[in-house]
């Protein structure tokens, strides 16, 4: 009887040790940590002109700014790279005044507008790992902007379209709605500039924008 009890006790102990040594699949890292993955973001932003752009041409903030981006999040690296295509529109209307054009003097309401469609490549540096539900990052970007400068005197317009180099630097953070989930929000503050020069804009354009976006990630 004692031998039977001893064998049973030994078998139970052996089973317990085996269970402790068995791999715990639920502790595996998220696929977003183990694999390179992709991330698509759609965002809208408010933007304010700064510097000479604000002083010489338009000083009114705009809410008509949107962008979409695709991001490649590198495995075993705090970096991600991607491309972003956006559009922004600024406008300012001045009271009726007299303007001299050659030998003519016009009495008109002047309306100033500036539209730009930047296409930029960017690099993000993430400060926390990919399993964190909050992922702050710093961004550096560069590319081109298709710009449209329009200056209206009533119905008469002076217009210039031009492709100019564009650049930017920003700080932001991603917020996952669910741990290891695919959906989340992205909040970013970014300085953007172009080398566009024409008319009243004699030293390029500079803006500060604050944006909120929604992203979807997959692997």
Of 70, 93, 83, 69, the residue nearest 151 (C-alpha) = 93
Of 169, 151, 191, the residue nearest 56 (C-alpha) = 151
Count of Cβ atoms closer than 10 Å to residue 120 Cβ: 22
pLDDT the model gives residue 212: 98
Do the Cβ atoms of 194 and 201 come closer than 8 Å? no
Of 137, 197, 146, 132, the residue nearest 169 (C-alpha) = 137
Do the Cβ atoms of 211 and 58 come closer than 8 Å? no
Its CATH architecture, for the domain 32-218, is Beta Barrel (2.40)
HEC profile of 86-129 = EEEEEEEECCCEEEEECCEEEEECEEEEEEEEEEEEEEEEECCC
Query: What pTM, to 2 d.p., does this model score?
Result: 0.83
Count of Cβ atoms closer than 10 Å to residue 86 Cβ: 22
* Of 46 and 4, the one with more pLDDT: 46
pLDDT, tens digit, 9 for 90 and up, residues 84-95: 999 999 999 999
pLDDT of residue 99 exceeding 80: yes
Percent over 90 (pLDDT), the chain: 74
């Amino acid at each position: 009887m004692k031998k039977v009890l001893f064998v049973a006790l030994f078998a139970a102990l052996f089973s317990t040790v085996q269970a402790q040594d068995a791999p715990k699949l639920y502790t595996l890292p998220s696929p977003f940590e183990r694999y390179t993955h992709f991330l698509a973001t759609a965002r809208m932003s408010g933007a304010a002109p700064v510097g000479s752009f604000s002083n010489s041409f338009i000083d009114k903030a705009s809410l008509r700014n949107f962008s979409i981006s695709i991001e490649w999040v590198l495995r075993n690296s705090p970096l991600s790279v991607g491309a972003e295509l956006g559009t922004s529109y600024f406008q300012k209307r001045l009271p009726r005044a007299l303007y001299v054009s050659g030998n003519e003097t016009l009495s008109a309401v002047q309306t100033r507008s500036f539209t730009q469609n930047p296409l930029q490549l960017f690099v993000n540096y993430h400060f926390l790992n990919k399993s964190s539900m909050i992922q702050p990052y710093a961004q550096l970007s560069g590319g081109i902007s298709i710009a449209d400068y329009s200056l209206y005197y009533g119905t008469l317009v002076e217009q210039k379209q031009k492709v100019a180099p564009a650049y930017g630097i920003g700080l932001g953070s991603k917020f996952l709605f669910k741990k290891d989930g695919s959906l989340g929000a992205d909040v970013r503050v970014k300085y953007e500039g172009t080398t566009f020069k024409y008319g009243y804009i004699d030293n390029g354009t500079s803006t500060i924008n604050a944006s909120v976006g929604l992203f979807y990630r997959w692997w």
